[in-house]
Amino acid sequence: MSILVNSQSRVLVQGITGKEGSFHTQQMIEYGTQVVGGVSPGKGGKIYLDVPIFNTVEKAVAETGANVSIIFVPAPFAADAIIESAASGIDLIVCITERIPVQDMIKVKAFLKNTKTRLIGPNCPGLITPEEAKVGIMPGFIHKKGTIGIASRSGTLSYEVVYQLTELGLGQSTGVGIGGDPILGSSMKEIVELFMYDDNTEAIVVVGEIGGNTENEMADFVKEHPLKPVFAFISGVTAPKGRTMGHAGAIIGGKDDTAQAKKNYLKSCGINIIDSPADIGKTVYNFLKK
């Protein structure tokens, strides 16, 4: 089992003919993902990367049965792309696009409340179920099928975690990059909850950072549902107050937003805290093998 995507997922790429969309679509296809169509207004009826192109998501869904969409549309048009996809009945939307205006995401969140659609992102690397489906921009070759679930706000740090785990023989059930923006489609708590009830996930690794309260909300859930071991690394220990660090959402707004405050809270909820990113893999390995 896995969460959110698997070998049966039928993926639609919005923005497939753009530079980023084209490159990563090819990578996803080579990984084995079922990319069944692309959306590029004005180019409907063409074949690109051996994939049929449609003018609208609605038509693409009707003709391909797509249930997952990944978005590479530029920021000014990304919110409309998300809404179009959700209105067309897509179950899971993965938005890679960065720098979507906050006011646009407020509209998106309000629209999604009345749909069945789950959004991952924006400003995220996507997600991967190793050896089944890659719906994102992560390097697929470092992943290995296994039982460790990963939920991360940082793309590059999640790759480091995966590499360490794979080198130690610990594969992953699914890896999810939730994104680094202030307003996200799915919270850390929501993804950890899916892992907690996934039969094939043995342990969960969380990569958090300064800013926001998504880690603390997740910790509250873990405290109430301690079904599996959860490990966490929180980046930004030396980040100065008031300065954005990398992600738009990674900014300390108060004393509870600091890395140390989050580490203390997560630890009080029964989560295993790892202080150095270099120790993540071996900490998980030693815990599970003891």
Cα(117)–Cα(122) distance, rounded to whole angstroms?
Answer: 14
Cα(59)–Cα(52) distance, rounded to whole angstroms?
Answer: 11
- List, as one string, the DSSP characters of 163-210: HHHHHTT--EEEEEE--SSSS-SS-HHHHHHHHHT-TT--EEEEEEES
Provide the token pair at 263: 């580490």
Task: Count CB neighbours of 169 within 10 A.
Answer: 10
Beta bridge partners of 149: 204
Cα(155)–Cα(166) distance, rounded to whole angstroms?
Answer: 17
- List, as one string, the DSSP characters of 18-41: SHHHHHHHHHHHHHT-EEEEEE-T
- Catalytic residue numbers? 247
Residues 98 and 146: beta-carbon distance below 8 Å: no
